[in-house]
Structure 1
Amino acid sequence: MDQASEGLMRSALHDLANALSGLQGILELSDPMRPLTPRERGRMEAILAEGMTTLDRARHLAMGSLPEAALEPGETWRLSLAEALEPLSTIFRCPFEITYTGDPAHDRWPGELGRGYVLALARQLLPYAQGGRMGLGCTADAGEWRILWTPASVLPDSLSADQEARPRDISSRWAIRVGTSLGAALSLEAGGLAVRIPRF
């Protein structure tokens, strides 16, 4: 087995083991004589959703494929993004606030591929949010799409272009793979981390 395949397999096994451990923890801490509370059920559903996302990303990475990138109306795209972010919001207890301040004429975004990229970046940034609210400020013009995550004061090592600096998790591998395919550029700006994606 080549080194890249082995690394991908180890990452997938590690991340899925974490998901199963999270489920086991909820079950062990709940009263076996009573049904799960709404909070416990919500956490279980969020962990399962994260596990399925990890599995889907690992499959794409292993097969060298990418999700659909057809442009979608901005409002539809952001509503779907808010839904996709909900499991992370539950797990990390960090609500997201998504806004759009760009030109309405350019408010069309790159489908499932773009959402998956934003979701993977959010997963890498959430540990730095420390339980607060995270803002995703979206804007677009004729040349590019931009998103600013606030607060975000550092560029996580997991998003570094340096192969050796990356932790071996599926989310960071996915963010780098999709970011490269989109031609995305990350930079720290006042109060947050910005991504710029050239329009195609």
Structure 2
Amino acid sequence: MNRIFLLACLLAPCFQQSDSDADLLEELVVKGWVEHQIIPNSTQLKNVIYPGITLTDAALSNRGTMRVTSAPKQTKSRISVENVLQATIDDLTIEYNYTLDSGESGQTKIEVMNRTYTIKFQSILVGGLCRTTLIDFKLLMEGPVKILADGGNSNKAVKIVERMHHVIVLQSRSFAYYEIIAGLNESLKKREPKLCKDIQQQDEVV
């Protein structure tokens, strides 16, 4: 029986995820992003004080949309199945109230055109139960950032914010990272995807 199983493994990868499994993970990521509730007018971002300007009351005016593509990855381990996805968020917009050192105030918007992450999941048997967890999450690439402002001296505000571009981008990255992770963990806990079918079958045969 063992020889038959090993021969079958040579003819067809034993650990390859099925299309339905990949679809399930894609759905899990997107639903986690859509369903995760953010406290209104709150982005977990701190106020920013920079020479010439102070940014306060950060708010997410547009969460953007998420699209996910799968990139199944095989593993030779007999105890786990890994899957890698790419998730892209389009049109993420964060707003701040600004006050210039001169006293003029208004609002500025920072629009991130797109941001792509790689997300790796692992399904593993724990005490005979299948558990799917997030094991790696990285920023892969980032599109252009657009800065707008109104009220007060908006032209000056835009120029100053452009100079502090790196600070704003780092903050928005931290926010997106937190929101994606929080949404995914909620989605995993809620749906408990069972992607250990192949491992269970192997254990039964062996």
Shared topology, TM-score over 0.5? Answer: no
If each structure's strand is expressed as a fraction of its own residues, which one has the higher value? 2
Report the structure number with the largest CA radius of gyration.
2
The TM-score range, normalised by the shorter chain, is under 0.3
Q: With the length of structure 2 as denominator, give the TM-score of the two structures.
A: 0.22
If each structure's helix is expressed as a fraction of its own residues, which one has the higher value? 1
Q: With the length of structure 1 as denominator, give the TM-score of the two structures.
A: 0.23
Higher RCO structure (Cα 8 Å, ≥6 apart)? 2
